[in-house]
């Protein structure tokens, strides 16, 4: 694990080529009136507008093939960054500008409220609920139940991407998901299609889906970006190292957060060049997709860093196997408490969309957390 050193290096110790290899992780995040007061008094920098603020930073500095981390208060960091070599100064200015901006609504949701995405697996082999909702009727009813429990988005998938899962042909996938999506869209519900196949994306959006959620960040199918642009769909770009069949076979990173950041940043840039607007893009660091338990925790601890990419952020850890290993719980359906703990850690760092199985419990936990965080008033 990378060692974190307190204190900032001398500005002249950073070469002018370090710019693109600097990463900023907001720490000591505050919310509500506390955030506003810290910003006003110069003790913190804004995060996603003025609703959140961070009073400390952790920097990842990658030079000569190695990564080191340094931590400092904002009061020490802010004057230091202004006297860095030009490329490093510009890099941090870009990251901080992206972090500070209030987000444009993604799929109708702003960063001031956590949206809950409910999972509907129309599959026989998903890791948590495979077979539970494998027919159109069962899947539609489950989706309606999730919506009534507080799901803002319903994510419908017809192919399992659990570790070791085999690919499903597009025709089978579409037979599973399209009737479900059509039925839900006719009821006025906001639907996302969870797929990596461009033909399924097109069929799903034509049936009423508004969001394309792709575990390969629109990179697996050469027609995926084209479909998203033509349909003007919102997209969720996820990071995955490898493929579901092999992604858990010794995943490795030079620096987990920096490597995932770079991948997602590059995918966002590619989508922007293709004509997808920044407000139509959401990123997902991909918990459990080509990552060890340590990698997963490193990402969860540093989710706020991904605001530096400048778009909406989603987090999905619900019932995943790392929770089972860390909490010694083999039954995925009994991992609700651990899933909620991870979701609240994400919410505290400004993550806007939480992808979960247990919608009602997550919604209740979020409601109490909003009061505790000072983001809701007790009447």
Q: Which of 69, 210, 267, 320 is catalytic?
A: 320
Q: Residue 42 class from Cβ within 10 Å (0-12 exposed, 13-18 middle, 19+ buried)? A: exposed
Say how many CA atoms lie within 13 Å of 295 toward its Cβ. 23
DSSP state of 152: S
d(CA 358, CA 130): 15
Does residue 9 contact residue 70 with C-beta atoms inside 8 Å?
Answer: yes
Cα torsion 198, 203, 206, 212: sign: negative
* Distant-in-sequence, close-in-space partners of 26: CB < 8 Å, separation ≥ 6: 45, 47, 54, 56, 57, 99, 304, 305, 307, 349
Instruction: Catalytic residue, from 62, 91, 335, 355: name it.
Output: 355
Return the biggest CA–CA distance within the chain: 65
Catalytic (active site) residue 187? no
Length of the chain: 379
Residue 320 is among the residues annotated as catalytic for this protein: yes
> Which residues carry out catalysis?
320, 355
């Amino acid at each position: 694990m990378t060692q974190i050193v307190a204190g900032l290096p001398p500005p002249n110790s950073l070469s002018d080529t370090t710019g693109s290899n600097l990463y900023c992780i907001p720490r000591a995040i505050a919310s509500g009136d506390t955030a506003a007061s810290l910003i006003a008094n110069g003790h913190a920098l804004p995060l996603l507008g003025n609703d959140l603020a961070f009073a400390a930073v952790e920097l990842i500095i990658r030079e000569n093939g190695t990564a080191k981390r340094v931590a400092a208060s904002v009061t020490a960091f802010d004057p230091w960054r202004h006297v860095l070599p030009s490329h490093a100064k510009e890099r941090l200015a870009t990251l901080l500008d992206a972090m500070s901006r209030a987000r444009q609504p993604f799929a109708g949701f702003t960063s001031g409220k956590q949206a809950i995405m409910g999972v509907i697996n129309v599959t026989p082999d998903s890791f948590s609920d495979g077979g539970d909702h494998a027919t159109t009727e069962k899947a539609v009813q489950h989706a309606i139940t999730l919506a009534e429990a507080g799901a803002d988005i319903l994510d419908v998938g017809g192919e399992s991407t659990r570790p070791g899962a085999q690919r499903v042909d597009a025709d089978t996938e579409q037979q599973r998901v399209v009737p479900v999506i059509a039925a839900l869209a006719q009821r006025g519900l906001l639907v996302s299609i969870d797929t990596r196949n461009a033909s399924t994306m097109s069929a799903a959006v034509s049936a009423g889906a508004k969001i394309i959620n792709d575990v390969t960040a629109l990179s697996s199918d050469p027609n995926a970006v084209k479909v998203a642009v033509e349909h003007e769909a919102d997209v969720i770009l996820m990071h995955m190292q490898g493929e579901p069949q092999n992604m858990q076979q010794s995943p490795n990173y030079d620096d987990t957060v920096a490597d995932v950041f770079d991948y997602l940043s590059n995918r966002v840039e590619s989508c922007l060049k293709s004509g997808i607007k920044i407000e139509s893009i959401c990123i997902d660091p991909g918990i459990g997709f080509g990552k060890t338990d340590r990698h997963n925790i490193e990402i969860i601890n540093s989710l706020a860093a991904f605001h530096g990419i400048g778009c909406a952020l989603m987090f999905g850890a619900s019932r995943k196997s790392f929770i089972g290993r860390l909490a010694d719980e083999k039954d995925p359906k009994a991992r609700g408490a651990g899933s909620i703990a991870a979701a609240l850690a994400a919410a505290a760092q400004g993550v806007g969309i939480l992808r979960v199985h247990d919608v009602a419990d997550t919604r209740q936990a979020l409601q109490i957390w909003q009061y505790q965080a000072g983001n809701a008033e007790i009447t």
